Amino acid sequence: MNFFACENLSAGYGRKEVLKNITLSFEKGRIASVIGPNGSGKSTLLKCMGRLLKPSAGCVYLDGRSISSMTDSAIARSVGILPQSPSAPGDIPVHCLVAYGRNPHKKALSSFTKEDRETVEWAMHATGLQDKRFLRLGQLSGGERQRAWIAMALAQRPQILLLDEPTTYLDIHHQFEVLELLEKLNTSCGLTVVMVMHDLNLASKFSGRLIAMKDGQVLLDGCAEEVLTEENIFDIFRVKSRIVDMDGSRAAMYMGVA
């Protein structure tokens, strides 16, 4: 079922047009990765889908309803979005940051309920942060901080999570940690994930669908086998590569630009 979609989406900043007429739809319970060179419009697309940026044309639909007709908190109850490298005051304790995720479920004066508390607890467990709850953001490593932000987005209990480069700055171990966490949430809770990724091999390992963008348009859209080919990589990134296939998982070896 297509429950999240964008139709003829165009967007930009001021007079500068970045996204050109993009139509995409996302099935429930899948993980999709958006790939493409710097400046190709990946973040812009994600921001439009998470209504952080108003499109100049076109529409984003959630369960068949245009999100422009929904309130901010109604969208936030279904769509969680983490921008590229978010920042926060370093003295916020982890559990407070995670608790902010409950905001869309709260009215101005309503107090923290048992359900809120349990959800925050669950989000911290899911991200393996239960022992770090009283540490402050400034006291965490880059990977832990990234997981804290993801925990915040999880506490929101969204059906779909939009993540902009969730593994940037992380070492391989922490990259896998974050992606395996998303995979686990995807299988256990049916969480739909759309993420921007730069590492093609990790993207193809963890997502059933790769969307390749270039110059504000969708160049390719399909499963890893279809998208991750030597010709395509050259078309998208101008990089020569070899594709190796080992035990069913595909990986690109990059040979250089010359």
Nearest to 99 by CA among 113, 79, 116: 116
Q: By CB under 8 A, tell whether 134 contacts other proteins.
A: yes
Token readout for 115 is 């359900």
Answer for which of 40, 146, 156, 207 binds other proteins (CB under 8 A) is 156
Q: By CB under 8 A, tell whether 6 contacts other proteins.
A: no
Token readout for 257 is 């630009």
Spatial separation of the C-alpha atoms in residues 21 and 18, rounded to whole Å: 10
**Distance in Å, CB of 60 to ligand ATP, minimum:** 16
Q: Which does 81 bind (CB under 5 to 8 A by kind): ligand ATP, other proteins, Mg ion, none?
A: other proteins
Specify the residue, 38 or 69, whose C-beta has the smaller distance to ligand ATP. Answer: 38
Q: By CB under 6 A, tell whether 39 contacts ligand ATP.
A: yes
Number of residues that bind ligand ATP (CB under 6 A): 12
Answer for which of 153, 200, 220, 252 binds other proteins (CB under 8 A) is 153
Answer for which of 23, 57, 68, 100 binds other proteins (CB under 8 A) is 100
Spatial separation of the C-alpha atoms in residues 225 and 243, rounded to whole Å: 10
Q: By CB under 6 A, tell whether 44 contacts ligand ATP.
A: yes
Residue whose structure tokens are 């993801």: 150
Spatial separation of the C-alpha atoms in residues 185 and 31, rounded to whole Å: 10
Q: By CB under 8 A, tell whether 73 contacts other proteins.
A: yes
Q: By CB under 6 A, tell whether 41 contacts ligand ATP.
A: yes
Which residue stretches of the chain are H helix?
A: 42-49, 72-78, 94-100, 114-126, 142-155, 172-189, 200-206, 224-227, 230-237
Answer for which of 22, 62, 82, 227 binds other proteins (CB under 8 A) is 82
Spatial separation of the C-alpha atoms in residues 127 and 215, rounded to whole Å: 35
Spatial separation of the C-alpha atoms in residues 24 and 77, rounded to whole Å: 22
Answer for which of 55, 104, 166, 216 binds other proteins (CB under 8 A) is 104
Number of residues that bind other proteins (CB under 8 A): 41
The alpha carbon of residue 67 and the mean position of all alpha carbons in its chain are separated, in whole angstroms, by: 18
Specify the residue, 14 or 248, whose C-beta has the smaller distance to other proteins. Answer: 14
Contacts with ligand ATP, residue ranges (CB under 6 A): 13, 16, 18, 36, 38-44, 84
Contacts with Mg ion, residue ranges (CB under 5 A): 43, 84
